[in-house]
Amino acid sequence: MMIRVMYSDGNFDIVKPGFLDRLIGEEAITSFKRSEGWIVLGRDPVRRSRNLDYAGPERRHYGFTAAVA
């Protein structure tokens, strides 16, 4: 599925969902189109993707345990 976006300079494009997250993070786009209509960044709610710059400890549990000596 490709997503229609509008860049800050007014140009339009169609991008993959993973690239949309990057464009939102870089504030390179002003809006994108969902099935219910255009979403304007800064006005409409947008789910945040995980922060790839996080340098803290890993706290997620994946259902396995490490062997303890």
Distance CA 33, CA 1 (A): 12
pLDDT of residue 43: 93
**Half-sphere exposure in the Cβ direction for 27 (13 Å, CA):** 1
* Per-residue pLDDT tens digits of the chain, which is 69 residues long: 899 999 999 999 999 988 998 999 899 999 999 999 999 999 998 876 555 566 667 666 666 555 555
Q: Residue 17 in contact with residue 43, Cβ under 8 Å?
A: no
Q: Which residues of 16-29 are buried (b: 16+ CB within 10 A; e: fewer)?
A: eeeebbebbeeeeb
Domain boundaries, given as residue ranges, for the chain? 3-40
